[in-house]
């Protein structure tokens, strides 16, 4: 019941924030006395969708069943959640106001600075445009609605303030990760972070040992037990789904005593992790620790970890190897994008034609 109430509250809060955001978008003035370039309205819409998707998924994963896989996948959806929040905040915070003589810029941190067109020291054109004022660079990319009009106003304003001269062309941006040589570089960065979070999360789920934190606890008498060639399956009176001790002959102990426990209807204390479907047709709980009310122990967390360690170790090595390769590839992409002329072959391998500078 508590989960249902929390779910309703979560949906109500997200819906309220969505309605507030949409109302702010609809009530925003379409015209102003001066020009204004800002992040496109699509950003908060996509961002809100990411927030709802990720928050709902995290809530469902952590409130339904405890699982090491759920713990591992949580970082991925946290990245999506914060990416959505960033997109919403970009739409709220980032603005460029301009008129015939000057312009004002409000950045991601809500810091607003005003500049005169004559203060512009350079313009950098590659995948998108940077207006440079001293050590400050103002990025005008595809996410900015009205960015082209601002650039034209800046070029015109600089020429009027400097006897018709053009803004000097800058050759490079030293503090930019890709030196402006990659179109939609933010997309590459977000995808890279998502992939790192995914493989890092999977690595975490393979490495984490079974414990009371990563499994659910049940306490009830056993009924309807059966033994197969590999697995032992039984039911607890409190649960409809079966409980399975995989390959129990290799590590479970006191099995003969277990049958006596069943006949006496003694309570079992079981820690298990829910599996949607593996060796059984429907979902089941994989047992990680089991004992009875008299203190007899049949399975422990250490036994389970020793049993599955070999399989999980191979998965850990494979996933860790992919993670290392991704990091190496990411470093290679940054190095080659900053020096595309020096590393022409690597540049072609790392980026498609659509990703190259224009």
pLDDT digits (tens, 9 = 90+) for 15-51: 555 555 555 444 444 444 468 888 888 888 888 888 9
Q: How confident is the model at residue 182 (pLDDT cuts 50, 70, 90)?
A: low
pLDDT in tens, 97-151: 998 888 999 988 888 999 999 889 888 887 678 888 887 888 887 778 888 889 9
pLDDT of residue 9: 53
Predicted model pTM: 0.67
HEC string for the chain: CHHHHHHHHHHHHHHHHHHHHHHHHHHCCCCCCCEEEEECCHHHHHHHHHHHHHHHHHHHHHHHCCCHHHHHHHHHHHHHHHHHHHHHHHHHHCEEEECCCEEEEECCCCCEEEEEHHHCCEEEECCCEEEEECCEEEEECCCEECHHHHHHHHHHHHHHHCCCCCCCECCCCCCCCCCCCCCCHHHHHHHHHHHHHHHHHHHHHHHCCCCCCCCEEEEEEEEEEEECCCCEEEEECCCCCCEEECCHHHCCCCHHHHHHHHHCCCEEEEEEEEECCCCCCCCEEEEEEEEECCCCEEECHHHHHHHHHHHHHHHHHHHHHHHHHHHHHHHHHHHHHHCCCCCHHHHHHHCCHHHCCC
Q: How confident is the model at residue 270 (pLDDT cuts 50, 70, 90)?
A: very high
Over residues 182-209, the mean pLDDT reads: 77
């Amino acid at each position: 019941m508590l989960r249902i109430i929390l779910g309703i509250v979560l949906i109500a809060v997200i819906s309220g924030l969505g309605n507030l955001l949409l109302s702010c978008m609809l009530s925003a003035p379409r015209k102003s006395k001066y020009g204004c370039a800002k992040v496109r309205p699509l950003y908060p819409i996509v961002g809100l969708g990411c927030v709802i998707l990720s928050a709902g998924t995290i809530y469902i994963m952590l409130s339904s069943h405890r699982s090491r896989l759920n713990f591992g996948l949580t970082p991925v959806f946290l990245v999506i959640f914060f990416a959505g929040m960033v997109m919403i905040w970009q739409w709220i915070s980032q603005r460029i106001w301009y008129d015939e003589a000057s312009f004002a810029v409000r950045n991601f941190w809500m810091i607003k600075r005003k500049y005169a067109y004559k203060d512009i020291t350079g313009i950098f054109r590659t995948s998108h445009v940077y207006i440079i004022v001293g050590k400050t660079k103002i990025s005008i990319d595809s996410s900015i609605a009205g960015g082209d009009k601002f650039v034209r106003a800046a070029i015109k304003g600089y020429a009027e303030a400097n006897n018709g001269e053009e803004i000097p062309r800058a050759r490079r941006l030293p503090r930019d990760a890709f030196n402006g040589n990659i179109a939609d570089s933010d997309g590459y960065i977000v995808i890279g972070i998502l992939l790192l979070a995914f493989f890092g999360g999977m690595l975490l789920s393979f490495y984490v040992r079974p414990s009371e934190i990563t499994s659910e606890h049940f306490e009830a008498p056993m009924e309807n037990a059966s033994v197969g060639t590999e697995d032992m399956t039984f039911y607890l009176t409190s649960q409809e789904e079966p409980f399975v001790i995989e390959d129990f002959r290799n590590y479970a102990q006191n099995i003969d005593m277990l049958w006596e426990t069943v006949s006496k209807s003694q309570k079992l204390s079981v820690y298990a992790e829910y599996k949607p479907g593996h060796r059984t047709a429907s979902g089941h709980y994989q047992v990680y620790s089991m004992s009875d009310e008299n203190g007899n122990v049949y399975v422990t967390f250490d036994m389970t970890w020793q049993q599955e360690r070999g399989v999980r170790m191979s998965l850990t090595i494979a996933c860790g190897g992919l993670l290392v390769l991704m990091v190496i590839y990411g470093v290679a992409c940054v190095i080659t994008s900053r020096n595309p002329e020096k590393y022409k072959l690597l540049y072609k391998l790392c980026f498609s034609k659509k990703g190259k500078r224009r």
